[in-house]
């Protein structure tokens, strides 16, 4: 057993609610008691002065691009990028091309491949309707047997509201969580950016806040009637926070998350038709950004996710509205989280909870996460540049390219897989 000693490191443990500087011993990603035998068998010592140690992270939304879109990324490339950036458990929406997430047996195979190729624990969100066609409920019982504990229709539209209600009733009966990425198709239409001055000046079709809030309001009414457990992913506007706050106050079994990019970036980045800032839901106003931050601080928004969407260079080369939406996010995730701490939004342990323990609890896998999680060594003061060479993901599509960031994962300690 190879034992690593890290001396004088700040250990941030959300399970124990502990934040203290101490020396620790690790073997296969697990902390050991400092027995005489352990001390005698230390194979490596690391000076942890000024460094932080936290559990491996749980990401509630990332697209790995496999199967079917290997030109953008693979389970091997994106798994490595996640793991090396401290993310060990990754949830992926059910909209791969082709769609395999409506078949429990294929889901199981995808999970095994993610561990074999990328060294991560992939958690597949099952398809809510067959092939995401929005017409017939999927075989949710089979998906549950295949390992899915949640279903979603991703960004695909439902044929009508009756289909939504039937799928919610089906999921409720099986104890599955339904994940919504709320957007009303008739309002969003062919939009690609936030509705505002910049969109108007550039002549780009827009997605108003109303597209998100109308969908959330409608789904909340259905959730109340069916009693299903629901999660709203990727909130993008302040009005959505208010709707979720009211639903929670009412006692509905509702949770939500926000992408890290929405806490930092705004519509200003689309100026000049910068397609690297093309993402869905779109980057919104400064007011929305601040409202999302406060919603996260207050606990209305439960967790932070990466919303990692790697894309090949060619996917961003067309005119803005014709480019593919998405931002690669694994490599900047920790630095942006540390920025929230430096700006005074969180204490370090609060941020750690939002990216580790709380998402594990939302996914009803806290016990499993505690068993499988390793530890992540971070230098919170390290200054570095996010370049195409430094990005581990196959996708280099980020509006933060070539920017100086502060804080980086130095090493991820996990069991050998």
pLDDT in tens, 166-184: 999 999 999 999 999 999 9
CA distances from 159 to 97, 100, 233 (A): 20, 20, 21
Q: Return d(Cα 351, Cα 337) in angstroms, integer.
A: 7
Q: Please give the pLDDT value at position 254.
A: 98
Q: Return d(Cα 355, Cα 365) in angstroms, integer.
A: 14
CATH 3.20.20.140 domain span(s) along the chain: 57-373+396-401
Q: 57-373+396-401 belongs to which CATH class?
A: alpha beta
Closest CA to 351 of 363, 362, 339: 339
236 in Cβ contact with 284 (< 8 Å)? yes
Strand order in the sheet with 229-232: 126-127, 150-152, 177-180, 229-232, 254-259, 303-305
pLDDT tens digits along 338-372: 999 999 999 999 999 999 999 999 999 999 999 99
Residue 270 tokens, joined: 């689309």
Beta strands in 203-319 (DSSP E): 206-207, 229-232, 254-259, 303-305
413 in Cβ contact with 4 (< 8 Å)? yes
pLDDT tens digits along 366-409: 999 999 999 999 999 999 999 999 999 999 999 999 999 999 99
**What is the mean predicted confidence (pLDDT) over 268-272?**
96
């Amino acid at each position: 057993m190879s034992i690593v000693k890290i001396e004088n490191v700040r250990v941030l443990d959300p399970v124990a609610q502990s934040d203290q500087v101490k020396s620790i011993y690790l073997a296969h990603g697990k902390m050991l008691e400092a027995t005489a035998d352990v001390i005698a068998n230390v194979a490596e010592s690391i000076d942890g002065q000024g460094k932080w140690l936290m559990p491996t992270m749980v990401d509630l939304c990332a697209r790995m691009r496999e199967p079917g879109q290997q030109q953008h990324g693979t389970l091997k490339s994106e798994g490595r990028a996640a793991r090396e950036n401290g993310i060990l458990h990754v949830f992926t929406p059910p909209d791969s091309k082709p769609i395999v997430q409506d078949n429990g047996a294929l889901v199981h195979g995808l999970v095994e491949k993610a561990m074999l190729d990328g060294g991560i624990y992939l958690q597949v969100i099952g398809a809510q309707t067959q092939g995401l066609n929005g017409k017939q409920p999927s075989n949710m019982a089979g998906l549950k047997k295949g390992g899915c504990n949640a279903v979603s229709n991703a960004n695909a539209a439902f044929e009508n509201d009756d289909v939504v209600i039937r799928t919610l009733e089906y999921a409720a009966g099986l104890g599955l969580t339904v994940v919504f990425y709320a957007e009303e198709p008739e309002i969003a239409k062919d939009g690609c950016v936030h509705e505002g001055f910049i969109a108007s000046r550039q002549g780009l079709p827009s997605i108003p806040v109303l597209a998100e809030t109308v969908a959330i309001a409608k789904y909340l009414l259905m959730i109340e009637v069916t009693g299903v457990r629901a999660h709203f992913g990727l909130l993008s506007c302040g009005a959505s926070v208010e709707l979720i706050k009211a639903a929670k106050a009412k006692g509905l079994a509702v949770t939500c998350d926000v992408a890290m990019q929405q806490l930092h970036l705004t519509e200003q980045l689309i100026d000049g038709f910068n397609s690297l800032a093309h993402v869905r839901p779109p980057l919104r106003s400064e007011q929305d950004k601040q409202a999302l931050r406060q919603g996260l601080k207050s606990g209305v928004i439960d967790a932070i996710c990466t919303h990692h969407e790697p894309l090949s260079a060619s996917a961003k080369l067309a005119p803005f509205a014709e480019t593919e939406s998405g931002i690669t996010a694994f490599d900047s995730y920790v630095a942006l989280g540390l920025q929230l701490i430096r700006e005074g939004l969180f204490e370090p342990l609060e941020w750690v909870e939002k990216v580790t323990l709380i998402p594990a609890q939302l996914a009803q896998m806290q016990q499993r996460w505690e068993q499988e999680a390793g530890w992540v060594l971070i230098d919170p003061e390290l200054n570095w540049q996010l370049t195409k060479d430094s990005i581990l993901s196959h996708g280099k599509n980020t509006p933060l390219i070539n920017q100086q960031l502060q804080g980086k994962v130095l090493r991820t300690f996990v069991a050998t897989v």
